[in-house]
Structure 1
């Protein structure tokens, strides 16, 4: 498969993470009801467990599954982070960056096919966790083969990611790990929101292969939660159904772009070589951040690292103060401090987490999944995007 085709195929994997609910810029919103509900979820799972999925089907898991296939790297990452990675027996090739993935069967399809139903069936899983990018036809084929499949709704914001983590724990019998993960994630959100309080919102633009996320997308939610203004939201652009738009140099030339956000999945040079980009404040003052491709592109627990790194780049002193304050307030309990230093099975702790590449800071390694974010728009705008 050529690099271009690989890019297009992987781009499909962010379709489910769009249409975000935007957090107010420059201020810290109170924890949402959804986040509070997730963080107070039961620690002891009970079965049978039933929930209605994205296909409108009430899915019942009779007992804690011993073998799980994940169809989408976000689901696989979530399983690892909640401590349930040991029950994963199959995943798509885009989850290969995760620890333990070398022991999972590759259930990706050939060519442009995202999933091979035959490979999934061959694993005889107790449960399949399918991201919303998996077609309903594929889900139906697996169900007709006697497999229990839960298809997730689109992750439209951090709130919905928190809900998804909690739900995953209930589906696979890892409620305690899911609850701890949600509490850790909420702590990270609280820190960046507090750091943004009273700050002037930087004007940021995320560009990936000529596309940018609109105001109602998951990536825009990450940007605004960290305290910036998504400049794409102020532009007169034609957004695809997925929420992304092509952005041409003429539009950029008329923007004030103080920070340029890029994706590690795009090869060098990542900054477009045109006067419109080269003359931005961001490029002139070396204010660019290369976001970790796996974390920004997957609506899963590690997306909080993206917000953290952006906050540290924009408000370093305020972030340090907010981090100490929030974690100090949580020190009477164990959830915040434990979760951030443990990072469940196969995960990364704060100490060994690769940081995003930001001017003026040490460059960090980035697993190569960055061909997801804006390229969903490339596919949609080109008329070839389809959920497979």
Structure 2
């Protein structure tokens, strides 16, 4: 193992202990996730029931996951996000024009390249964050204490987001971000869209035996129980075998992986050969070559769009694998796995956030709406067998 690989693995282990998952491919350890599990602290931020009071005004005062209270006198016009799920959430609730800083892991978002990249080799650069002159800095729970305090010592208006254990936690975090940024209506609409799609998926899942799945994160770590990833897999109709006796993001031995014997392995890199390597090669998934592919930004980021895309991609691919396709459909892709938010010809700052395409999520734009429509149609066509109509 060379020095760069050793450092990458060490970084992956450090982040995972803090609750962050990394992709399957060893070459990409720590490259595109920086968000899974968002930390180990369980401090909950106020979810700001502004809608119940019929207001989303300012000033607003909320307590974050570290117990610190942040007061905003006015709606923040300059928001810097230090984790990709917060950036994704801002895009989806109608607040992307407020975002002035993002990390490299949010580069998949349409128009993100026009924002300041505040990334450092590890975490974020406090100087770059300060240079964006933010009215609000959204910080993930996985941020270490030293960096969190460094941001606060720089006089920055920091809000430390709580860990997301579940889809419900993701909805609560979305509500909080909406309240802090003055996008309460967009947050409520986005959560309603996510919850509706989750409920539809749950209703379509057969109560019988579920195919078993395992999500390796690299260096023996996996996504287990009490995580939003486990709940997404369950909603999609699979049983996460790592959740039987483990929680969080534990490191499993080869012997335990062989005992769990998953039927499928979830991957985030099409070129990975993990099912050809031990211990996975000796599992049912390895012997049969069974993998489920989902883009890393969806499965690893606790945000509404990630929930819907992960659930629907996993569900459709499992359904296709578990049923015999009709001959006329054998050349068709089971699910669009290259979904992005980019619209052809759009410079990333267009006014497509208010799209009313019917099935699209609030603020997602026509490209994502089209993807959602395609996924819905394909899932509907593939339903049967182990699913109920």
- State the TM-score, normalized to the length of structure 1: 0.71
Question: What is the Cα-based RMSD across aligned positions, in Å?
Answer: 3.4
Distance 2:257 2:200 in 1: 31
Distance 1:298 1:41 in 2: 28
Report the counterpart of residue 62 of structure 1 in structure 2.
73
* Residues 140, 41 of structure 1: alpha-carbon distance in 2 compared, 3 angstrom cutoff: farther
1:223–1:307 CA contact under 8 A, matched in 2: yes
Note if 1:351 corresponds to 2:373. Answer: no
Distance 2:92 2:196 in 1: 15
Distance 1:272 1:196 in 2: 30
Distance 1:39 1:277 in 2: 48
Note if 1:213 corresponds to 2:223. Answer: yes
* Residues 43, 309 of structure 1: alpha-carbon distance in 2 compared, 3 angstrom cutoff: farther
Report the counterpart of residue 258 of structure 1 in structure 2.
263
TM-superposed CA distance for 1:203, in Å, is: 1.6
Note if 1:282 corresponds to 2:285. Answer: yes
1:208–1:263 CA contact under 8 A, matched in 2: no
Note if 1:307 corresponds to 2:326. Answer: no
Structure 2, unpaired ranges of 5+:
9-27, 323-355, 376-389
Note if 1:198 corresponds to 2:202. Answer: no
2:276–2:286 CA contact under 8 A, matched in 1: no
Report the counterpart of residue 95 of structure 1 in structure 2.
106
Distance 2:136 2:243 in 1: 39
2:135–2:157 CA contact under 8 A, matched in 1: yes
Judge which range, 154-163 or 246-255, deviates more.
246-255
SS in 1 for 2:101: strand
**Which of 92, 103, 124 is equivalent to 1:81?**
92
1:80–1:347 CA contact under 8 A, matched in 2: no
**Which of 140, 147, 155 is equivalent to 1:138?**
147
Distance 1:228 1:79 in 2: 30
Note if 1:340 corresponds to 2:343. Answer: no
Structure 1, unpaired ranges of 5+:
21-33, 319-336, 357-388
TM-superposed CA distance for 1:273, in Å, is: 1.8
Judge which range, 152-161 or 211-220, deviates more.
211-220
Aligned residues: 315
TM-superposed CA distance for 1:48, in Å, is: 0.7
Distance 1:165 1:55 in 2: 18
Note if 1:157 corresponds to 2:176. Answer: no
Report 1:88-127 matches (<5 A): 88-109=99-120, 111=121, 113-127=122-136
1:69–1:127 CA contact under 8 A, matched in 2: yes
Distance 2:40 2:201 in 1: 21
Distance 1:172 1:108 in 2: 22
TM-superposed CA distance for 1:205, in Å, is: 1.5
Note if 1:273 corresponds to 2:277. Answer: yes
Distance 1:46 1:39 in 2: 8
- State the TM-score, normalized to the length of structure 2: 0.71
TM-superposed CA distance for 1:180, in Å, is: 0.8
Q: Deviations over 1:329-360 (max 9, x none)?
A: xxxxxxxx86732551568524236999xxxx
* Residues 214, 317 of structure 1: alpha-carbon distance in 2 compared, 3 angstrom cutoff: closer
Distance 1:141 1:155 in 2: 24
2:357–2:369 CA contact under 8 A, matched in 1: no
* Residues 48, 78 of structure 1: alpha-carbon distance in 2 compared, 3 angstrom cutoff: same
Report the counterpart of residue 175 of structure 2 in structure 1.
166
Judge which range, 278-287 or 93-102, deviates more.
278-287
TM-superposed CA distance for 1:198, in Å, is: 2.6
TM-superposed CA distance for 1:317, in Å, is: 12
TM-superposed CA distance for 1:278, in Å, is: 2.9
1:195–1:315 CA contact under 8 A, matched in 2: no
SS in 2 for 1:163: helix
SS in 1 for 2:70: strand
